[in-house]
Chain A
Amino acid sequence: MSSFLFRALDARAGIFVALMALVIVLVPAGNLLVPESSPFHVPTYAVTLMGKYLTYALLALAVDLVWGYCGILSLGHAAFFALGGYAMGMYLMRQIGTRGVYGDPILPDFMVFLNWQELPWYWYGFDMFWFAALMVLLVPGLLAFIFGWFAFRSRVTGVYLSIITQALTYALLLAFFRNDMGFGGNNGLTDFKDILGFDIQADTTRAGLFAASGLALVLCFLICRSITRSKLGKVLVAVRDAESRTRFLGYRVEHYKLFVWTLSAMMAGIAGALYVPQVGIINPGEFAPANSIEVVIWVAVGGRGTLVGAVLGAVLVNFAKTWFTAALPEFWLFALGGPVRLRHTLPAQGHSGPYRERPIDVWQQIGLRPG
């Protein structure tokens, strides 16, 4: 067991962890301790922006674990991310209490608006943080387990599996758009006030969320690395390279896939849960099939099957995207060409209503664009 944990820490991992530790300390310090007049001051919007990148990096890490090491090309990981995000969003909604527009102590605004009389049963418990945190892991984990149980046992692989992961996230997208699902329909969950009693807009809370995202990333990185360097990790690579050969050696490939797949979905859930309080909203747009494809692009850019590459890819691509969208909006379309066009045009087809309101305004919310 101890050898399992130590296995993760070699020189390369050490450098990554040390750098991350530096980032986790310096960025919040630059925001909270350095005076605004100093050139070393880190503005709050930048803290939140980078915090968001870290959650994307965690999502990319989760995708790399299944794709890079086990050959499962998931085009539906944004679904697990969004489910984790919704679980956190439900907690944040219930923290609003009487401060909502309608002032109902129990019901979130959108339920009052829909004339609902009482809280649906599946919202029970979300007023407690520990419960919501558990759901952040359990909901994506359980969905992944059930999905994987059937898919891997029936030996669905390759492009067929990728397509049904897309179908999964698309089905969830349609479901979450429905008002009667009880998750706020196309507006999603927003107008959060506080988290664990801290004002969600406060600089200190933002810095705390940033640090939490960094810590989650480091922890999940170490877990992934222990796994990939264990004998189990070698079996995963064997499955990736020659699945049927691995079976003939006596390994139950479906069990291995199910294990990493479920774990990976839980990590994506954590990423989503940390993303939501930082961007201040979760809505069905996060389930958009193109989002999942974008994650795969980050991993491909950084280098599949390296873990660190997934993190770098996610941060670099998103940084470039932020920069280009602000400075040279036209050029960004060329830079990411297909993928980005896909992201914006695909959902628009046939669903003129809700999709138009997709939160590209996230930028506005985090201060990159003045409102």
Chain B
Amino acid sequence: MARATSQLYLDGVSVSFDGFKALNELSLTIDPGEMRAIIGPNGAGKTTMMDVITGKTRPDTGEVFFNGTIDLTGEDEAAIAELGIGRKFQKPTVFESHTVWDNLELALKAPRGPFATLFHSITDAEAARIGALLETIRLSSKRDELAANLSHGQKQWLEIGMLLAQDPKLLLVDEPAAGMTDAETAETAELLKEIAMDHCVVVVEHDMDFVRALGVKVTVLHEGSVLAEGSLDHVSADERVVEVYLGR
């Protein structure tokens, strides 16, 4: 069925923490090349869903498949990253005591073993790629700055740059616009749309203007399962969705 042709396939995934069901029979299919926005109130399970996909949390039940055939539930974080799933965290996490450049170099797609990195010298192609990424995320002038000294918005962008540097097939982006000004938010939406042209992207975001700017199919999560799915106009017309958002 749908699984074979999907990029990401979740079926009946449940996760509970001390009896509390963070994910409850969650099923979701993302097609190759698709960009999907995930919304939902606080505690809906959005981040937990990403934890399950990236190997941080093991589901109690349910299936998670990548590329239609690769079972992710038995793999660890490093293996899943190597398969081509990149993640941007809700709270921006960059390597603070490294420079912007080094952050990107570490993320850059390259052999990941200790001996490969021990004898690695940066190639011209890699340097050019990092240079191009710096342009994309508008941090060229900060390349030698420690990541710790960046503003919140810049850290968000650096993390998106690191995500791109990995050149993953699927990008999981958790609240990229959190803490950004309106102008930055609009720019971030543009950037993600650009990225989505040749990547499969799943974006979690609370900011409705941002989601509207993306103009893609929206999935509403609530209490660990899918409440509604469709265009933003379609889901925001859904009574249950309105209730969930207003009822908080």
Contacts and interface: CB of A to CB of B under 8 A. Distances in A.
Contact of A231 (B76, B93, B117): B117
A256 B120 CA distance: 15
Contacts of B102: 234
Contacts of B86: 248
A249 B118 contact: no
Contacts of A241: 95-98
Given A230-B120, A237-B98, A250 B112 contact: yes
**Interface size class of chain A, counting residues whose CB lies under 8 Å from the partner chain:** 20 to 34
B162 A235 contact: no
B89 A227 contact: no
A341 interface: no
Given A230-B117, A234-B105, A248-B54, A242 B112 contact: no
A365 to B, nearest CB: 41
A253 interface: yes
A227 B118 contact: yes
A251 B162 CA distance: 14
Given A231-B117, A241-B97, A245-B95, A252 B78 contact: yes
A26 to B, nearest CB: 35
A259 interface: yes
B165 to A, nearest CB: 9
Contact of A234 (B77, B98, B112): B98
Contact of A251 (B78, B89, B93): B78
Given A232-B114, A245-B89, A249-B106, A237 B95 contact: yes
A4 interface: yes
Interface in A221-259: 227, 230-232, 234-235, 237-238, 241-242, 244-253, 255-256, 259
A22 interface: no
B119 interface: yes
A154 interface: no
A246 to B, nearest CB: 8
A3 interface: yes
Given A234-B105, A244-B56, A255 B113 contact: yes
Contacts of A234: 98, 102, 105-106, 117
B244 interface: no
A181 interface: no
Interface in B35-93: 54, 56, 76-78, 81-82, 86-87, 89, 93
Contacts of A255: 113-114
Contacts of A19: none
A232 to B, nearest CB: 4
B107 interface: yes
B125 to A, nearest CB: 15
B114 A249 contact: no
Chain B residues touching A, majority SS: loop
Contacts of B77: 244, 247-248
Interface string B118-146: 11111000000000000000000000000
A73 B53 CA distance: 32
B111 to A, nearest CB: 10
A11 interface: no
Contacts of B95: 237-238, 241-242, 245
Given A234-B98, A234-B106, A237-B97, A253 B78 contact: yes
A327 interface: no
A360 interface: no
A256 B81 contact: no
Contacts of B119: 1, 4, 230
B166 interface: yes
Contact of A238 (B56, B106, B113, B122): B106
Contact of A249 (B81, B113, B122): B81
Nearest to A254: B78
Interface in A250-307: 250-253, 255-256, 259
Nearest to A305: B97
A250 B98 contact: no
Nearest to B85: A248
Contacts of B56: 244, 248
Interface in A1-43: 1, 3-4
A256 B119 CA distance: 14
A249 to B, nearest CB: 6
Interface string B148-168: 000000000000001000100
A244 B118 CA distance: 21
23 contacts: A3-B121, A227-B118, A230-B117, A231-B105, A231-B106, A231-B118, A231-B122, A234-B106, A234-B117, A235-B114, A237-B97, A237-B98, A238-B95, A241-B95, A245-B89, A245-B93, A248-B77, A248-B87, A249-B112, A249-B166, A250-B81, A252-B78, A256-B114
Interface of A: 1, 3-4, 227, 230-232, 234-235, 237-238, 241-242, 244-253, 255-256, 259
Q: Which 4 pairs show the lowest CB-CB distances between chains A and B?
A: A250-B81, A247-B77, A232-B117, A231-B117
